[in-house]
A and B are shown apart, each in its own frame.
Chain A
Amino acid sequence: MAEGRVVGIDLGTTNSLVAYMQGDAPVVIPGVDGLNLVPSVVALDPAPADGGRATVTVGNTARKALIETPERVIYSVKRLMGRSLAEIQDELKLFPFRLADDVEAGEVPRVQLGEMRFTPPEISAYILRQLKRNAERFFGAPVTQAVITVPAYFNDAQRQATKDAGRMAGLEVLRLVNEPTAAALAYGLDRANVGTIAVYDLGGGTFDISILKLRDGIFEVQSTNGDTHLGGDDIDNLLLAVALDEIFAEHGVDLRGHPSAVQGLRKAAIDAKIALSTESVARFDIELPNGDRYQREIPREVFELLIEPVLERTSGPCKQALADAGLTAEQIDEVVLVGGSTRIPAVRQLVDDLFHLAARGKKPRTELNPDEVVAQGAAVQADILAGASKTTEEMLLLDVTPLSLGIEALGGGVAKIIQRNSTIPASATEHFTTGVDGQTNVAIHVVQGERELAVDCRSLARFDLKGIPPMSAGLPRIEVRFLIDADGILQVTAREQRSGKAAEVEVKPTYGLTDEQVESMILDSFDNAEADFAARLLIEARNEADTILAAVERAPESPAWSQLSAEERASIAAARNRLSNVKQGEDLKAIREATLALDQATRRFAELMMDAAVTTAIRGKTMDEAGEEMGEAVTAPHAMAPAEFK
């Protein structure tokens, strides 16, 4: 099945999505719960009492565990991807990441999840595997190839970590695509393609700005800039810090040592932030462990004052991107907004000011859902890579490297060999020689970044050119070729020219997993429950059948049941019996068809129930179980819909 579908994946800080090209439009694939967004949350279920293995859950189920068992849950792991222990110290102050305590400097940090430990790429692999399964369930066929998006400003190590995660999840990553560029692809699908656009992407944890020139289907990135450390999480943390301080000052309660209370408060802060995008005031009303209530009104003006320093940090990168592209704000034809944080009115105002939009009678483009547009763009790129599609055959993305590549020179300076914003793939060839007679090794230190001194840049790799034939100092001539590939990842090759001998190059990443480590972390290797694909599909189909059968079993308890005619009840009973019969068989197709038949037979009942639940919700009363499922799933086509089958 090498030529199966290629899916597009947005592996986000807060939410992740998988999408594919359906005909000429990208479509996001929903999960079992009918929702498009899979929260990037991974939880380790409590180990079963019978001594079995704890299982890993992902998404909404994992998020529910966040309040009850926060020590077994991790979120925002993208912030840790490709980063060293030293680099993540700041994150640790703000996020309840629990690092395993036996990690040594230079090693990839591991996160403690209950009694187990995982590297950030492994955690991401669980999210990717969930998305892969959602897609396989949707297509009824294996999915083995994917395009995954990354922040444009991700460095080499962060990109490599993302690719490693894909491999661990059983996905061949055909391409890493930059998130803002992916968004541009989604926006560029249905429009006359000439002009210069800026994509302003403020997500949960990262900020990117990219400037692109569109011409006849070619999307040529002119410049990109950003901050991999800036996003909606920072806004949440500000609100959270204010609340924690006030609770301590006013009620004498220090919640900082109570992970589950902090999680509850964080959720309230996020709700307040979201409310303030449409309301002029939001409220905190939280019961404290000592029985007091923390009540607080946050007017939008106060909120905007609070977050101004965070938003202002996006200005510098925007100006630098314009300067690097050699453009003025007036030369930008359109600005596309991406990422959930661009729903904040103050962000839109800032963008308007930066690009002089209102003054030119323009508005930022927001018509595509900012949470889904990146995944949709990834699906477009997946379609381009799969080839043979009329919609995308004229489209081509020419992206750039966000950071300059350099070599540490004598004295600790940096000699830049590939400038930032160079179109990738890009290459540079450098020559090295020896300083001592008979020397057979030359050490090279490759860095990424814009600073003048190597210590201020990100160290990418240190490697030795080995096996140089012994000669007088300065005589060997070693040609080293540095190539940044289409994923933005560095490859190095070397050869000694005088003797024609290929020097052995061992590129040791300064930080990151080795090939062998990645191999040993491939999820199937320790996930014993993973059977072969057909068996898994059968198990999932049976689970879906059980879910809908259980719902039908409870149906007569619902007031909506009495509204059904005798005929409708009879047809539900017939479909239920049929499903119960085929369920234990091995015929996957029969189970799915019977499930679908029962689903259709209960459609009107589900609608009646949904109406009742909405009414209940509006009255503000506690929703019953069915209603609660539905309340979260307003985008689901059918409250009990098991899945869409092809």
Chain B
Amino acid sequence: MLKVLDSAVPVACWSCSIGHNDSTLFCPHCSKIQPPPGGDFFSVFSLKPRLELDLESLEQEFHRLSRKLHPDRFARARENEKEWSLADTALLNDAYRTLKDPIRRTGYLLKLTGAEIGEENAGRDRKSLNDPSRVPADLLEEVFELNMQLEEMRMSRKMGEQEDPDYKPNDEDVKSLVEAKKKFAGLLGDVDQDLQAQWKVWDAGDVAARENAQKKMVALLDRRRYLSNLVRDVTETLGEK
């Protein structure tokens, strides 16, 4: 999905013709806006890829760059500058949206390193929740039982083709679901802590330590996605929003 472009090719500024490295939003010589540079989302913020970020200064930099790049600043500019302002700001916004969220940031960095990461929001096929190959091994038994229960409750709610608006699950079912939800939400919290520990390892580590951390994080993200889908499913079946 995302690609890393080599960014060391010098190009000439469209305005002042002086050559510059193309990973820049503005010409270092004449300050004019440039076409979207290559390079990753981190480089938009002049950062090296890393996982622990100071969100406060990320936001400040986002605002500073927005003030200079936003199409509102180019409403009466030449067509090419308008176009680059739009493309550059889209890049800035995409980068900020990805980096400010810890899970998206982790997934993005792992993709940069070549890992295959499932999509956080791809489809909602319930089957995958039952697919044994995707269930974390330690949870197999519990998940199987929970899914049976969820399926039964969905069946009784859906009398034939129509949703039954007055359907209320019985108290016992609700109680066990609430407990299951609590448990899985707790496991989700554990995953987040484990992830944060790996961030530190990756940020500080050498090549070997990083590769090791990457593997662990790929597995953690898989587990996390599975757990959060499960929690969402339970929440929806409970009729909460």
Contacts and interface: CB of A to CB of B under 8 A. Distances in A.
Interface of A: 2-3, 174-175, 215-216, 218, 220, 319-320, 323, 381, 384-387, 396-398, 409, 413, 415-416, 419, 422-431, 452, 483, 485-486
Interface stretch (B15-23, B92-100, B167-175): B92-100
29 contacts: A2-B76, A3-B76, A218-B66, A220-B63, A323-B241, A385-B72, A396-B67, A396-B72, A396-B73, A397-B72, A409-B123, A413-B124, A415-B119, A415-B122, A422-B97, A423-B97, A425-B71, A425-B87, A425-B89, A426-B90, A426-B93, A427-B87, A427-B91, A427-B94, A429-B1, A430-B1, A485-B71, A486-B71, A486-B72
Contact of A386 (B63, B75, B119, B125): B75
Contacts of B1: 429-431
B70 interface: yes
A175 B93 contact: no
Interface in B43-63: 63
Chain B interface size, as a band, is 20 to 34
Lowest 5 A-B CB distances belong to which pairs?
A385-B75, A425-B90, A427-B90, A486-B71, A423-B93
A216 B76 CA distance: 24
A174 B71 CA distance: 10
B44 to A, nearest CB: 13
B61 to A, nearest CB: 12
B133 interface: no
Nearest to B3: A429
A449 to B, nearest CB: 14
B110 to A, nearest CB: 18
A387 B75 contact: yes
A215 B63 contact: yes
A428 B86 CA distance: 14
Contacts of B162: none
B66 A396 contact: yes
B207 to A, nearest CB: 29
A281 to B, nearest CB: 36
Contacts of A416: 121
Contact of A424 (B87, B93, B122, B123): B93
Given A175-B72, A396-B67, A486-B86, 7 more contacts: A174-B76, A385-B75, A386-B76, A427-B87, A427-B94, A483-B87, A486-B72
Contacts of A396: 66-67, 70, 72-73
B75 A423 contact: no
Nearest to A395: B72
Contacts of A431: 1
A422 B97 CA distance: 7
Given A396-B67, A429-B1, A385 B90 contact: no
Interface string B23-40: 000000000000000000
Interface in B70-125: 70-73, 75-76, 86-87, 89-91, 93-94, 96-97, 119, 121-125
B124 A452 contact: yes
Interface in B115-143: 119, 121-125
A427 B94 CA distance: 7
A495 to B, nearest CB: 13
Nearest to A215: B63
A393 to B, nearest CB: 10
Contacts of A426: 90, 93-94, 97
Nearest to A174: B75
Best-buried of B75, B97, B119, B124 by chain A (most CB within 10 Å): B75
Nearest to A482: B90
A236 to B, nearest CB: 29
A519 B124 CA distance: 43
A416 B124 CA distance: 11
